[in-house]
Amino acid sequence: MRSGVRILPDGLGSTGLAGVVTGPGLIKAVTLAQNQRQPRRRDLDGFKQRIIGALIIVSLAVIFLPMLFDEPHQARREQTLEVPPEPEMEPVEVEQPREPEMPESEEAPEIPTADEGEVERDGARDEKITATRDEPEPDRVSEAEPTPEVEQEESGALRGAWLVRLGSFSNRDNALKLRDSVRDQGMDAHSETVENDKGTFTRVFAGPFVDEQKAVSAMEQLESEFNLEAMVVEGEE
């Protein structure tokens, strides 16, 4: 039996002994198979394109939809962030600080001045001096018979000491005022009654001081405080 291809009337080849299609029949069979596959491939390609298109649309929606929804919020946010114009400020006058008023210093009490010509600086001691202790007057026994003021002579305690003589006064009250003012300054002070050809005077002394230098310092202080002229003298018995 010969092997080969037999041409059929419809143009198809026949199979040989091995059962393999040969000749024009094979070409037609392949072409038919390809034609049967093309509709399926076209359908698959169209499906892929539709999927790709859907993905593109979804991607665009994901990108643009939030922008569309956020746009009104952004507009509202911009409105809330508007800064109002600054109000016009009226000029304010600032008062200059005033300097504190210093209280006026209290004037020193008026000190009576010594009678002119009675402050002696020559150190003469030819006058009779009677020292008084400035003790309070004793109780009067009877108003009809007043007891005279008792005067006591200075003891020898002033010997060798130094005194500051502040002045002599014909008015005893003025002398006592000066004496009290000196005592208010924390210094010892006393008065003496002096009799001479001009009359009776009351001298005021500060002290006694143990040495001349302390007496000079006290004199300078009292002259500045009471605006008077004083002198340092040495105490006697």
The pLDDT tens digits along the chain (237 residues) read 444 444 444 444 444 444 454 556 667 766 776 666 666 677 788 888 889 999 999 888 888 877 777 655 555 555 566 677 777 777 777 777 666 666 554 555 555 555 544 544 444 343 434 444 454 444 443 343 443 343 334 444 566 689 999 888 889 999 899 999 999 988 899 998 888 888 899 999 988 888 889 989 989 988 888 888 889 988 764
What span, in angstroms and rounded, lies between the C-alpha atoms of 15 and 3?
9
Class for domain 128-135+153-234, per CATH?
alpha beta
**What is the pTM assigned to this prediction?**
0.38
| Block residue for tokens 């208010």 | 184
SS3 168: strand
What span, in angstroms and rounded, lies between the C-alpha atoms of 132 and 155?
11
Pairing type for strands 128-131 and 231-234 reads: unpaired
